[in-house]
Amino acid sequence: MSITATELKSNLGKYLLLSATEDIYITRNGKIVSKLTNPFTNRTEVARSLFGVLPDTMTQEEAREERLSEL
């Protein structure tokens, strides 16, 4: 979820509760400036879920170039 800094200021309690279940990206002038996240989320499981995403024939550099070319 992405919200503005002003929205966060106005509804901090709401977004603190929401951050327990999902990451909240805070924007200012249309650019992401911060992320509100749950410190107890098991990041190891997230990292493990990404293993095998890249084909064996593609290097990390090739994947990075492909991702940046889509922007």
Residue where the block lists tokens 């190891």: 44
pLDDT tens by residue, the chain, 71 residues: 999 999 999 999 999 999 988 889 999 999 999 999 888 776 666 666 667 666 778 787 888 888 788 76
The pLDDT value given to residue 44: 67
Contact 5, 29 (CB under 8 A): no
The model's pTM? 0.57
Phi-psi region of 58 (alpha: psi -120 to 50; beta: other; left: phi over 0): beta
We report the CATH number of the domain holding residue 38 as: 3.40.1620
Rounded Cα distance between 1 and 13, Å, is 15
- DSSP strand pairing (2-4 vs 31-36): unpaired
Domain count, the chain: 1
Q: Which domain holds residue 21?
A: 2-69
